[in-house]
């Protein structure tokens, strides 16, 4: 017996190796490799018949659904591209009236506007989700701190400070308010410049 496979051993025992073209029809890249040994020919390793686990079956089904969805999306995309190319050829060939061109352009503008509206709606939904998440987090923090709001907690902390610390805290709060006010004013001026 030997522990290591060397190049001379390969030349001695292997007659040829056939590497077939990759098959991507299932959505995954599968490539068959045949190894022909001297004296016995093509040798197939016997496969163990092990039933897949429930998690593997679920993962395979999920992948199959994802591939089917992707194929359907690709089919719609290529059908849309093909229709657009045929339309452009018909327009270039003078086979389409001006009324049809106007109707096509109007429908295209409506589709683009609908897509913009959908994107804006998604942005609004994301913002609302983020706000709700922040509210839930704040409620959880309040519940953990005994039900007081952050402002009430800060006021309680402020009452426990000595006079010097209270002056510093007031000064910091005033500076922060002024920074926020200036930033808001600058943002409003920028929006007015863009709108104007």
pLDDT in tens, 81-137: 999 899 888 888 888 888 888 888 898 899 899 999 999 999 999 999 999 998 888
Residue 128: the pLDDT is: 93
% residues pLDDT > 90 (the chain) = 20
Lowest mean pLDDT among 58-62, 67-71, 83-87, 146-150: 146-150
107 burial class (0-12, 13-18, 19+ CB within 10 angstroms)? exposed
- As a whole number of angstroms, the distance between CA 52 and CA 6 comes to 36
Residue 190: the pLDDT is: 77
Q: Give per-residue pLDDT as tens, 148-169.
A: 666 777 777 878 888 888 888 8
30 CB-near residues (< 8 Å, 6+ apart): 22, 23, 24
- Residue 16, strand partner residues: 36
> Any idea where the domains of the chain sit in the sequence?
7-42, 64-96, 161-191
Phi, psi of 101 (to 5 degrees): -65, -45
Whole-prediction pTM value?
A: 0.39
């Amino acid at each position: 017996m030997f522990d290591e496979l060397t190049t001379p051993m390969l030349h001695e025992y292997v007659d040829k190796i056939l590497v077939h073209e990759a098959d991507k029809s299932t959505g995954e890249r599968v490539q068959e490799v045949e190894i022909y040994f001297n004296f016995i020919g093509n040798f197939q390793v016997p496969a163990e018949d092990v039933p897949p686990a429930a998690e593997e079956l679920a993962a395979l089904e999920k992948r199959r659904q994802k591939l089917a969805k992707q194929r359907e999306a690709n089919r719609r995309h290529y059908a849309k591209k093909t229709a657009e190319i045929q339309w452009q050829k018909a327009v270039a060939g003078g086979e389409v009236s001006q009324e049809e061109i106007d109707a096509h352009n109007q429908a295209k503008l409506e589709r683009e506007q609908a897509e913009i509206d959908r994107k804006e709606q998604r942005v609004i939904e994301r913002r609302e989700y983020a706000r709700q998440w922040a509210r839930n987090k704040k409620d959880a923090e309040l519940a953990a701190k005994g039900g007081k709001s952050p402002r009430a907690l800060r006021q309680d902390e402020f009452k426990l400070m000595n006079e010097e610390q209270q002056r510093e805290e007031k000064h910091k709060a005033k500076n922060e308010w002024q920074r926020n006010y200036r930033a808001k004013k600058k943002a409003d001026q920028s929006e007015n410049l863009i709108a104007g």
